[in-house]
Chain A
């Protein structure tokens, strides 16, 4: 078996006195799409923040392609090829649509993604390339956020609640675009509240409950009861 692209080893995370993650173990291989589900406050976002370097951990708790990265800064981790699509889009308001994408691509990593490739994926962004990012609809902003992350040509992309606050039809169009993104062998972690969406696009699923992994398995043959047990902690 080849080396995992990402492994979390007894990952712990704290906000001051509050502990958000209690020894999470996780492993994923290249080209895999992993879904992470769990109730609010289960630690999903914290897990992504730890992987992307927005939270600092002990070095060995996060290992990427064999390199311990838990203690690195976010910009160093980005340069290694991990990109995060943050919860709530978080575009740069004083940058235009095109500038938001360009700054995502400033690391100049090799790969299929470029301004024109992103515009091909989301044609509406090409029309609005000169708009301030604040002038777009929520769905279009989400497209910019995804495009911005892709522009760095990451090997591993992390999606945090990309359907949150969007209309169902928009969510559908974004999820329809996902296979085109992860199809080329890019690995992805998708944090999602919508369980059926999460299961439909992922290879394997992890469920978090109160900062611990409560369930892990292939997305295709995992039972509803097992999920609700892992999700709510009741039989």
Chain B
């Protein structure tokens, strides 16, 4: 039963990792940009949530009402102000600029919030649990997983069923021809980054409720998200969810064997997938 419990808890944890990954995956899909600062932006979401909670006394989940639009706005401005200038055939500029951004963000957090770990208090939600078939499942992890599924379903809907998603796919396919359709790619990229950071805001708030975070917490979150994307297969959002689940299960099962093995087991699962299926478990066939 302990093992079943570990697997179930890991699956639920995978939902959070899928949320870390969704924004990364979206951005790569639309503009082939790999954002090294993605983890730090997740942490930015958490800090913004903390600020709203402290200023207003709102429940952290309600803080989403402020944090999601704020992060989306930051995303649009960041893309149009800086990141659009780095896009091109050379992979160095986007990598190094987002790396620089990561350094800046971490030190801004330090300046603004000190190095002390912080956490958001979600009250009873943190301890509430339901009993399912002899397993005690936390309401928060269940909620996180449900949100992850909803977010991915929502992104999937936007991508494949709306004019905006059509524009995303057209620009991703062929930037030059997309411009002939009247699409301003700079604007489309801005919208994609706004959407990605809106998702990132949700991920950040859920992270900040679940565990404590500090200014340097971003790196690990970038890595988890990245691993979920690669395990699931590039460009496949549902695959990313499964990738997140595999990563989460590997971690909880690893922790069950030896607490020191929790993180290592996740990375090893990633490396094994990379060795056996370098294109991930569910790569998209087209494109």
Chain B at the A interface: SS class:
helix
Inter-chain contact A95/B183, CB cutoff 8 Å: no
With contacts A92-B174, A93-B287 taken as known, whether A78 is within 8 angstroms of B166 at the C-beta atoms is no
Chain A residues within 8 Å of B79, by CB: none
Interface size class of B (residues with CB under 8 A): 20 to 34
Stretch at the interface among A35-43, A61-69, A98-106, A118-126: A98-106
B178: min CB distance to chain A, Å: 8
* B170 interfacial by beta-carbon distance below 8 Å: yes
> How far, in angstroms, from A86 to B181 measured CA to CA in the complex?
12
With contacts A93-B287, A95-B166, A102-B163 taken as known, whether A78 is within 8 angstroms of B173 at the C-beta atoms is no
Inter-chain contact A94/B287, CB cutoff 8 Å: yes
Interface of B toward A, CB cutoff 8 Å: 163, 166-167, 169-170, 172-174, 176-185, 286-287
Max count, chain B CB within 10 A of own CB: residue among A53, A90, A132: A90
* A79 interfacial by beta-carbon distance below 8 Å: yes
> How far, in angstroms, from A132 to B167 measured CA to CA in the complex?
16
* A199 interfacial by beta-carbon distance below 8 Å: no
11 example contacts (A-B, Cβ-Cβ < 8 A) are as follows A75-B180, A75-B184, A79-B182, A92-B170, A92-B178, A95-B166, A99-B166, A104-B181, A106-B166, A106-B182, A107-B182
Inter-chain contact B286/A106, CB cutoff 8 Å: no
Inter-chain contact B182/A95, CB cutoff 8 Å: no
Docked complex: A67-123 residues within 8 A CB-CB of B: 73-76, 78-79, 83-84, 86, 90, 92-95, 99, 102-104, 106-107
Chain B residues within 8 Å of A73, by CB: 179, 184
A75: min CB distance to chain B, Å: 5
Interface size class of A (residues with CB under 8 A): 20 to 34
Interface of A toward B, CB cutoff 8 Å: 52-54, 73-76, 78-79, 83-84, 86, 90, 92-95, 99, 102-104, 106-107, 132, 134, 148, 152
> How far, in angstroms, from A38 to B286 measured CA to CA in the complex?
37
Chain A residues within 8 Å of B180, by CB: 52, 54, 74-75, 78, 83-84, 86
Inter-chain contact B182/A78, CB cutoff 8 Å: yes
> How far, in angstroms, from A79 to B173 measured CA to CA in the complex?
21
Determine the residue in chain B with the shortest Cβ distance to A80. B182
